[in-house]
Structure 1
Amino acid sequence: MAEAGEPYTTPMPQVRPEPPPGPRRVRLIYTALACVGTAVAIVLVFTAFSGDRPGAASAPLHQGRSAAPSVSASVSASAVPRPVRLPPVPTALTMVVHPGSGTPAGNFVVDQKSGIGYAGFAAPWRTAADPSPFVRAQRAGRALIVSCPMPGAVPEALTAPEAYRTVAARAARWTLRFQPEGGSLAWTASQPLRRGTGWLLGYRVTYRIDGRTHASEAIVAVVGTGRNKPALLFATVPDTTQELYRDLNMLFWTLRPI
């Protein structure tokens, strides 16, 4: 009891010092700090490289339909992309012979990996230094000639022309990733190869760029080579270089298994 005249005070409770954290708790704290540090580092890395994009000069040939090598940079923003639907493949349709003399032959391309050979051309065509994912490639502006083993799985027995025509149609659909989006397709050729076993399909894809209608002529050939996979030859030429259309004929005339 407090004496008379002394103020009343509440005695302070005894506070026991908190024991130091045990080893397990220490490990948990350090783990949490490490996770935070890692997350911060990842954010900084992505921030530092977020503006790093490959330029057109280093873009690979296989760019996908959203970045077709022919017109991706100039496609009108108002164009509405839509998938290209393949119409039924004709049973027989002879390839048209384009007018003009075409590009002089520069050499004969031998694609040993794919097992085919075909015409190589002089300027304005040039051999691509990095043809990946293809084996061989030639370019002339937005025009393109490439060859490789047939992508994807193929039937084990390819002997009948109808079987090659079916595979060629599938190959043609695969090549649409190198054409502008939002186009329409019409077949221009469907016939057996001149040399060896296989099938040639030709198509014209029509599209709009900056409000104007354009078209590209293309051929797709599937060639039997006696290997596990047939070879694929694909070429496309936009209408901005119509003088190169005749080169598509020369490719068809010179294509052969080796």
Structure 2
Amino acid sequence: MTAFIRPRPLVVPAVRLIGFHHAGGSAASYFPMSRHLPADWDIALLELPGRGKRAADVPLRGMAAVIGRALADLEPLRDAPVALFGHSMGAIVAWEVARAWSAAGSPPLWVGLSGRLPPGWPNARRGLHRLGDAALLAVLDDLGGVPEWLADNPAFRDRFLRLVRADLAAVESYHPTGFQAPLDCPLTVYGGAGDRWAAPAAMAAWSARTTGPFAHHVFPGGHFYFAGDALPGFAARLACDVTKVMAMAA
């Protein structure tokens, strides 16, 4: 079974954009974005264990395991120029994949990170995966990360919370130590002006994490600033950023 949702798989794409979802999310959360990206892009949305196509698999509770699984899943897709994008938990995965590839001498074409502070910055909250159900749902609801239909589906709510706890345990296990060499590829970061978990001023600190071109875009909204009606505009911005890098590379 494939680990990816690929809305329009292409044999020879102009670029292959890999998407990494947030904690408690799935590859399907990025599917609508694919409709607003260039037709010659191959969109590959990674599905981590425990959801979607991998719903029967046990969710991974350690970030090292998540990153290792992502690296293994991505290996067959490296036959084209690859751009990486991740939001929140997905930003950690995208960052560490980019670091691993760069250390091996084959960095990605571009890296886009959203809604996550640089490694070493204090997280907004710790121990979230140990909260009671009501408290955890309140935190997620405040972020805008609770699907509306959960309230009427207790069985799905319980499954969702188990998955969220596993993902949050993985995020909270992420403790990079020592010196992390900056990337040498283009890095773009995105965030919401009202995101209390990844404030714009702190997101700007990502600029020190690459020796390549850096850009920082701030949008109206909170942690999930690109959701709903804002999605087409965000997708257009991302497409512009990657297209600019492709032109530079050419």
TM-score higher than 0.5: no
**Normalised by the shorter chain, which TM-score bucket?**
under 0.3
Higher strand proportion, which one? 1
Q: Normalising to structure 1: TM-score of the pair?
A: 0.25
Q: Normalising to structure 2: TM-score of the pair?
A: 0.25
Greater relative CO, 1 or 2 (CA 8 Å, sep 6+): 1
Between structure 1 and structure 2, the one with the greater Rg is 1
